[in-house]
Structures are given as structure tokens and as C-alpha cells.
Homo-oligomer: A and B are copies of this chain.
């Protein structure tokens, strides 16, 4: 091989990456968006008898404050606290390093800071002094204790704070945040639709990215790179399954297994745009798929249709599950071992509620759900479909472009 041909593909790769992209971006949230969130939060605090709440986790802190950062979530050294009282002004208690970043991105003008990292006391004195001054009507202060929460501070510090803010008692603010985030605003839905569109375009071109002999790792890297170039900000999740005639896990990989003729491939992606996720998947057959897989694919497509149709105001998450399960059970198919057939979607890739029999959450306009039926077949294989939608007054509205009824076939 001459030096020229060796350098050729790399130079073309760089050239292709460098080409100007100039993406259309979704309009950032208007100030009124945050005013409404805070107003709703305060009403819910009153209902739940909380004098204020504090959030430290990525989705909840972003949701209430508008603060945009990668740093705070990639680096767990420094905690970032945002306090919203039931009455009075919200306050950010944040590391000094973040003051200019905060000022540029958050609507909240009141900030206190300390020269973090200071492991012996990461802003706790400041934080406690703010909380202790809040008007005390109920005596309870809400922090992130409940399900599906990933606390943004050391748990020991949260316990210490509980002692420091007496006579306030700690209570759980997750019911407030769940209720708030369950109903998405039109601006939030526009964000989710945008990232769904980007991922849909990438899925359409996925067959063109595949080469026989690619490892699953390589396929995921190419696919994630394509998502970024199309305008995704981050691609936290790209799971992949490949195997002859079907795959055996939908949350696994990527591994070093190499793509072969006769494989069926699944990619499920959680890509992110301006703090909002898509979460859906697509199947691709490498050459004509076996009859068994085609039949399951068609049943899952129909189960998805049924799930979409059931996602209307007044129905429950359980109803959405049962609508999907019935299509599969009527055909004598074993349901997938995922534990549910879809879930909430928004600032987190999977959020409340769960489409499963025990979840009686009543759907309302503005709820964003994934519809995600899965089925077992053959020798321990599983097949899965997934679409994203928003519940509206006039019925379900897809945020993803519907997958084709027949499994796409890549001829490599």
C-alpha cells in the first residue's frame, strides 16, 4: 500500500467531519417557562406541606434553575445546591468556579458561593443558614430522597444537613418533582421532538454505516458519532444486540462480536439535546431475516400500534402495558423479560411512570412516554420495538417517525 492510499481515508474522514454543519437549534426556554415551573412547584409544596425544597441532581437542578453545565455532572467533587422556598426568593449555593457559568445560564440571580473543593465542609454552613432563615409554616423541608433519584451530594452531608437545619425536619421532595416533570410544556416537547428527529435520521442511515466484520463497539461509535454530527449534544446510551437470526439482550453491549451475514441487529439509543432525551430503538436484518424473526417483528409492530392507541388521557400506564401485552399473548408469545413495556421520558432517559400492571398512574396531556413491547422467541432470543410519544387532548402524538412494519434489510 502506498503512503497516499493509507493517508487518503483519514484525510477524507477529517474533511467530512470538518464540513460546516450550522444546525438549526431549538429556541432556548423563555423566562416564562421557568416562572411557571417555580409557580407550579410552590403550589405543590403547599399541597405537600413543605416550606421549601432543595435539589442537587442533574435533572431536577436543571429543571428548576435553568443552569446549563456539563462540569457539575462529570465532576462529582463539588456539590451544587438550589433552594426554592415556598415563599421568597430562590437561591443557588454553588462553588466559586461556577459563578460565571451560573450567571450566563440560570434565571436565578441570587447566588452564594464557597472556594470548593473543601471536603471538610462543602458549602454546608452556607446552605444551612439559607434554609434556617426560610419562613416556617409546616416545619418540613424537602430534599431528594425518593425513587429514581441520584443525589448530587455526599449522602453523609445530607444527613448532616438534617441536623443543621433543626427545627426543620427533612422530608421527600421527589413527589413534587415527579408531578412537575410528568407534564411536559410545549417547549419541553419541542426539545424531545428535536432529538427524536435527529436519532430518526441517524437510524435511517444506519444500514449505510454498517460493514460486515465491524465489531459491536465500532458500530456504536460510528452511530454515536453520526448522532453528534447531526446535532445531538451527548450520546450517553447506545446499547446494541447482534446475533444470527436475533439477539439475546437489549440492554447489553457493545462487545467485540463482529457483524456477520444473517445477523439481526438492534440499536437502542438515549441521545440528548439541550437537556432532553430521546429513547428508542431500531432493528436491522443483515440479509433476509428468518421467518420466525419476521413474524415476531410484525407482532411487535402491531403491539406498538396498540400501545400508542392506548396512550390517551384518562388511561393508565398499566392500560398501555395491557394493550401491548394482549397482542402478543393472543398470538401465544412469551413477553420480554424487561419488567415493563415502556416508561416516561424527558430530562432522564427513563423516568416515572412504568408501563406495567402495578403502575396505575393516570395519563394526562403533556405526558411523554415510550411504547416498548418486547417478546421472547427461539432459543433465548428477544426482539424489541420502541417509539416515543406525547399524550395530548386529541390523542397520542408520535415524537419519533414510526418504524417500518417490515424489518429493514441491509445487503452488505
User: Hey, which bits of chain A sit against chain B, CB under 8 A?
Assistant: 9, 12-23, 25, 69-71, 73-78, 95-98, 100-101, 104, 115-119, 122, 143-152, 154-159, 172, 174, 205, 208-211, 213-215, 217-218, 220-222, 224-226, 228-229, 231-239, 248-249, 251-252, 255-256, 270, 337-340, 343, 348-351, 354, 356, 358
Task: Tell which of B25, B119, B337 touches A147, judged by Cβ atoms closer than 8 Å.
Answer: B119
Is the pair A222, B18 in contact by a Cβ cutoff of 8 Å? yes
Q: Counting chain B CB atoms within 10 Å of each CB, which of A98, A231, A339 scores highest?
A: A339
Task: Tell which of B13, B71, B119, B348 touches A76, judged by Cβ atoms closer than 8 Å.
Answer: B348
Is the pair B97, A337 in contact by a Cβ cutoff of 8 Å? yes
Which 7 residue pairs are nearest across A and B when measured between Cβ atoms?
Answer: A16-B16, A225-B225, A145-B156, A71-B251, A74-B237, A75-B350, A225-B228
In whole Å, how far is A56's beta carbon from the nearest beta carbon of chain B? 10
Closest B residue, CB atoms, query A116: B339
In whole Å, how far is A182's beta carbon from the nearest beta carbon of chain B? 14
CA distance A343 to B75 in the complex (A): 11
In whole Å, how far is A148's beta carbon from the nearest beta carbon of chain B? 5
Is the pair A74, B156 in contact by a Cβ cutoff of 8 Å? no
Q: Counting chain B CB atoms within 10 Å of each CB, which of A147, A172, A252, A354 scores highest?
A: A147
Is the pair B97, A251 in contact by a Cβ cutoff of 8 Å? yes
Is the pair A221, B232 in contact by a Cβ cutoff of 8 Å? yes
Q: Which residues of B contact A354 (CB under 8 A)?
A: 77, 117, 119
Is the pair A115, B17 in contact by a Cβ cutoff of 8 Å? no
Is the pair B152, A76 in contact by a Cβ cutoff of 8 Å? no
Is the pair A155, B145 in contact by a Cβ cutoff of 8 Å? yes
Is the pair B156, A217 in contact by a Cβ cutoff of 8 Å? no
Is the pair A226, B339 in contact by a Cβ cutoff of 8 Å? no
Is the pair A148, B154 in contact by a Cβ cutoff of 8 Å? yes
Is the pair A19, B13 in contact by a Cβ cutoff of 8 Å? yes
Is the pair B147, A150 in contact by a Cβ cutoff of 8 Å? no
Question: Knowing A155-B155, A221-B228 touch, does A18 contact B209 (C-beta < 8 A)?
Answer: yes
CA distance A104 to B254 in the complex (A): 12
Is the pair B70, A100 in contact by a Cβ cutoff of 8 Å? no
In whole Å, how far is A11's beta carbon from the nearest beta carbon of chain B? 9
